[in-house]
Amino acid sequence: MTLSRRRFLTLSGGALALAATPGALRLTRQASGRRVVLFQGDSITDAGRDRGVKGPNVAAGLGTGYPLLIAARALAEQPARDLQFYNRGVSGNTVPDLQARWQADTLDLKPDVVSILIGVNDYWHTLMGTYKGTVDDYEAGYTALLRDTAAVLPQARLVVLEPFVLHCGVVTDAWFPEFDRRRAAAARVARGAHAIFVGLQERFDRLSRQATPQHWSSDGVHPTPAGHTVIEQAWLQAVPY
């Protein structure tokens, strides 16, 4: 079968338009073969996951939050790729807690993408009197964590999600401006490690003018399903996996 010049140009233009879409670019950029994506952090990431599940891509093991949403979308949209998603978030964790379990819960998995959301407890627990870490402690520990990760996994893509809170529930005026200093520290850590930084606070602040803060977070810290979807969307826009 032969193609007219007009028909050829029409088909070629359609192919180029498809290749120019973000999804197509993501598909063409990624190498074939196994791709391991790991989510790390505290209760926001944990999201009630079953810690007895060790394998990837199991709904119970991914929890009910943004890691499950991201994995579900990616696995549905790119079924031909060998994508493996793990969630190792642990409720209540601070940066020192991550450091204590980093070898087994991160480095041993040899992830290609390491996504971390940590920082709320590094301040919240100081208010409760159960932790005495300062902003400097948070920044130094976080910096060391990413430096050590890059040394062991030099090809891994590092992703830092901005810690965020909404002004409702347990989050009162007493949180500010001290909590904002943790946010700024997380941004500096990301820049220093050449990590992707996923901003979340400004996004939630903007959305809280469209609906109440409680629509996005029941207590100011833990996202509702709508809040987890906000994180999912921000992550997928920022991170090539």
Q: What is the pLDDT of residues 87-111, one digit of tens each?
A: 999 999 999 999 999 999 999 999 9
**Domain ranges for the chain:** 1-30, 32-238
Per-residue model confidence as pLDDT tens digits over 127-174? 999 999 999 999 999 999 999 999 999 999 999 999 999 999 999 999
What is the pTM assigned to this prediction?
A: 0.87
At residue 221, the 3 state secondary structure works out as coil
Give CB contacts under 8 A, 24+ apart, made by 169-177.
169/214, 169/217, 169/218, 169/219, 169/220, 169/221, 170/124, 170/219, 170/220, 170/221, 171/219, 171/220, 171/221, 174/127, 175/123, 175/127
Q: Report which secondary-structure segment, H or E, holds 159.
A: strand 157-161
Q: How far is CA 138 from the centre of its chain?
A: 18
Return d(Cα 140, Cα 129) in angstroms, integer: 21
pLDDT higher than threshold 90 for residue 7: no
Are 193 and 186 within 8 A, CB to CB?
no
Give the CATH H-level superfamily of domain 32-238. Answer: SGNH hydrolase (3.40.50.1110)
Closest CA to 70 of 240, 221, 187: 240
* Phi, psi (rounded to 5 degrees) for 156: -75, 140
Are 197 and 162 within 8 A, CB to CB?
yes
If you average pLDDT over every residue of the chain, what do you get?
89
The predicted pLDDT at position 198 comes to 98
